[in-house]
Chains A and B, each alone.
Chain A
Amino acid sequence: MTHLADLPVWAAIPVALFLLLGSALALIGSIGFVRLRSFYERVHAPTLGTSMGIGFVLLASMLCFTVLQSRLVLHEILIAVSMLVTTPITLMLLARAALYRDRSEGSDDVPAAPPVHTAAPPAQDSAPPV
């Protein structure tokens, strides 16, 4: 983007600030992968990037291209909406896969399967639910 130099200073400063804030949140989310202890804790970390992290980056993009092209650039809203609607699908898939494995291994750390489900997997008497 060579014409990015045309961006006036009053717009460049907030754009840079939003970009830094957004990428900092994404970075902190990634640090969370290392620092948090269990899988279920780690699955929380990337939601920083998918909520306010991407929000700041999109805000920067909207401001930058609105000023550069001298017209309202709003289609970043679509990215935000798709993000908000699709993240639960991935996160639920991951969390439920982990939960399924932990339950079938008879782990004590996860809540037992609800009664309606106990008909499907073989009953595990070795690890009684707390």
Chain B
Amino acid sequence: MKRWLPSPLLTAALVAMWLLLTESVALGSILMGAILATVTVWGFKALDPPGGRLKRPRAAFALAALVFADIARSNLAVVKIILNPRKTERVSGFLHIPLDMRAPYGLATLACIITGTPGTIWVEYNSANNTILLHILDLVDESTWIDTIKGRYEKRLMEIFE
């Protein structure tokens, strides 16, 4: 089983993607999707990807909802900054954040969250001391941002991936 179907979750996701692409749930599409997904996963495993798995899928859905709301909120915040006619004393700048998480897929997800949320950008990751460098458009209070990244996202990601 392990040999023929190395990562069931990835295979299922690829089958779902194929069904969405072909826009059908006919038996033929499912079979074709299953074959393609299995071969793709074999190819992916041959690249020797870093290990790691989704430990708590339900927590992942909760995090997705949280991120969705945050993206909406920060979209509004960035719109306000751009359309603000006055050049106010808004400060933007770099911020180092030390992380506790080491799981590679957790870090990748954190990068997607931070970059997907307008106003924050992941600039650099230092694996030696596990620190990330962010650029933040509205750097009002550094400790608030550190609390947001660490308390809001990293804690949940560690529950999911570690």
Contacts and interface: CB of A to CB of B under 8 A. Distances in A.
Contacts of A35: 82
Given A28-B79, A41-B137, A47 B118 contact: yes
B70 to A, nearest CB: 10
B20 interface: yes
Q: Which range contains the number of B residues in contact with the other chain? A: 20 to 34
Nearest to A69: B23
Interface of B: 17, 20-21, 23, 71-72, 75, 78-79, 82-83, 92, 94, 96, 111-112, 114-124, 126, 128-129, 131, 133, 135, 137
Interface stretch (A1-9, A10-18, A88-96, A120-128): A88-96
A96 B124 contact: yes
Q: Is the interface of A mostly helix, strand, loop or mixed?
A: helix
Q: Which range contains the number of A residues in contact with the other chain? A: 35 or more
27 contacts: A28-B82, A28-B83, A31-B82, A32-B82, A40-B92, A40-B94, A41-B137, A43-B121, A44-B120, A44-B137, A45-B82, A47-B115, A47-B116, A47-B118, A47-B119, A48-B78, A51-B71, A74-B20, A75-B20, A78-B17, A84-B112, A84-B116, A85-B112, A88-B116, A95-B121, A111-B133, A114-B124
